[in-house]
Amino acid sequence: MTETAHNGGGRRGSPWRIAVWGIAALVLLLPLIAMQLTEEVAWGLEDFAIFGAMLVGACGTYELAARVTSNKAYRAAVGVALAAAFLLVWMNLAVGILGNEGNPANLMVAGVLAVGIIGAVIARFQPHGMDRAMIATAIAQALVAVIAVIAAIAQLGHAFLLTGLFVALWLTSAGLFRRAARERAHAGAAP
């Protein structure tokens, strides 16, 4: 029996699977609800399409990770990393992390994601390497804020408040991957 079959990760009605996709559907409805309540939210079809594609990508990636392992720390680490990446992209597209959404300096945020993705590929998605990849991503996130403040692209308080949030998320993910690596070493099992 495979690990996926044993832990129920591949079942159609898995509570976690339903929860992840259900939350994504609710999050997709939030802008629609907000549009009914205020004129400040004015999304078009393309906005919903992009947001929906981002949600499908994040949820699909999480589901893939959940199917590969039964390690709860690894699953949580992937969830936190995906949430951080999702929020980073969403905020950057919506209002911009550095200045407004049209500021070309916001392209540096793509470098943060590139560090995480390249690190994950190099680590072959193994928990010990993923720990290091998330630490490198946290460092990249902090460097973007430092560069933005030095170049007078972003205000000190604004840049470091958001940076602190994302660095905390990346480091939380790193800690969970570290825990998954320890559990894996003790169990002598696959990720």
- Say how many C-beta atoms besides its own lie within 10 A of residue 124's C-beta: 9
- For the entire predicted model, the pTM comes to 0.83
Least reliable range by pLDDT among 4-8, 75-79, 94-98: 4-8
Over 80: is that where the pLDDT of 91 sits? yes
Over 90: is that where the pLDDT of 3 sits? no
Given a contact cutoff of 8 angstroms between Cβ atoms, the answer to whether 105 and 99 are in contact is yes
Please report the pLDDT score of residue 20 as a whole number. 87
One-character DSSP codes across 9-67: TT-TT-HHHHHHHHHHHHHHHHHHHHHHH-SS----HHHHHHHHHHHHHHHHHHHHHHH
Domain boundary assignment for the chain: 1-70, 95-181
Over 50: is that where the pLDDT of 2 sits? no
Give dist(CA 40, CA 43) in Å, integer: 9
Query: Mean of the pLDDT values across residues 55-83?
Result: 93
Model confidence band, residue 9 (pLDDT cutoffs 50, 70, 90): very low
Dihedral, 178, 116, 62, 126 alpha carbons, nearest 10: -40
Over 50: is that where the pLDDT of 137 sits? yes
Over 60: is that where the pLDDT of 121 sits? yes
Token couple for 68 = 């590969």
The residues, any chain, with a CB within 8 Å of residue 26's CB and separated by 6 or more, are: none
Over 50: is that where the pLDDT of 120 sits? yes
Q: What is the pLDDT of residues 14-25, one digit of tens each?
A: 787 888 899 999
Q: What is the pLDDT of residues 30-64, one digit of tens each?
A: 999 999 999 988 999 999 999 999 999 999 999 99
Please report the pLDDT score of residue 153 as a whole number. 73
Mean pLDDT of the chain: 87
Give dist(CA 152, CA 99) in Å, integer: 10
Query: Mean of the pLDDT values across residues 178-186?
Result: 93
177, amino acid identity: F
Please report the pLDDT score of residue 156 as a whole number. 67
